[in-house]
């Protein structure tokens, strides 16, 4: 069958995305061929500021014969010296997102002070998945894994990461990460 129209997604290796750090047009897809991740532009944010839409992973069949897709998504890198919430991912219609783990990565710390207090939630309940808790950081940064969250997000829910009490370090950045399975519910 001849192809009349073809849609090509903007793509390239991680090194190119990081060095150029382009602003994707509103609705424009970008694909990192090294990390297998997809982002969608909004016309104003640079590649590094955009949230990960999806991680291209293999599809597996669950015990109840529903297709599941294990994904890991992270928030944009945020200044942990500022309070507020940012989006990590929005659960697509017809799916439920079973949360396997949540973690916080903190980096770029200078003049360490009091660590930030962070939470995981959604646009309806800001601490729905993990109530605000203080992280522990040293001058090199750290990784905080929130184990066994035993929770899920329904279709249309936007999972968020937020800072409730700002870090008192000279500079402090980081992001929230969620890992889980998308399960078809309709």
Render pLDDT for 75-129 as a digit per residue (tens, 0 to 9). Answer: 888 998 999 999 888 888 788 888 988 888 887 777 777 888 888 998 888 888 8
Q: Where are the domains of the chain?
A: 1-50, 59-184
Model pLDDT for residues 14-41, shown as the tens digit of each residue: 889 989 999 999 888 888 877 667 888 8
pTM of the model: 0.63
CATH topology of domain 59-184: Jelly Rolls (2.60.120)
DSSP structural state of residue 25: P
- Helical segments of 9-69, H only: 14-20
């Amino acid at each position: 069958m001849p192809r009349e129209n073809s849609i090509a997604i903007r793509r390239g290796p991680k090194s190119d995305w990081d060095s150029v750090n382009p602003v994707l047009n509103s609705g424009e897809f970008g694909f990192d061929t090294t990390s297998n991740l997809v982002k969608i532009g909004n016309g104003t944010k640079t590649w590094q500021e955009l949230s990960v839409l999806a991680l291209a992973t293999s599809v597996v069949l669950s015990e109840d014969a529903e297709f599941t897709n294990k994904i890991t998504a992270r928030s944009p890198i945020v200044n942990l010296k500022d309070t507020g919430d940012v989006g990590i991912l929005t659960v697509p219609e017809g799916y439920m997102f079973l949360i396997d783990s949540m973690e916080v990565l903190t980096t770029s710390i200078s003049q360490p002070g009091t660590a930030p207090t962070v939470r995981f939630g959604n646009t309806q309940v800001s601490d729905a998945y993990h109530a605000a808790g203080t992280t522990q950081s040293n001058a090199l940064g750290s990784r905080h894994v929130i184990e066994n969250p035993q929770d899920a997000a329904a279709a249309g829910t936007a999972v968020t990461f937020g800072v409730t009490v700002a870090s008192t370090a000279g500079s402090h950045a980081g992001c929230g990460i969620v890992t889980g399975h998308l399960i078809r519910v309709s």
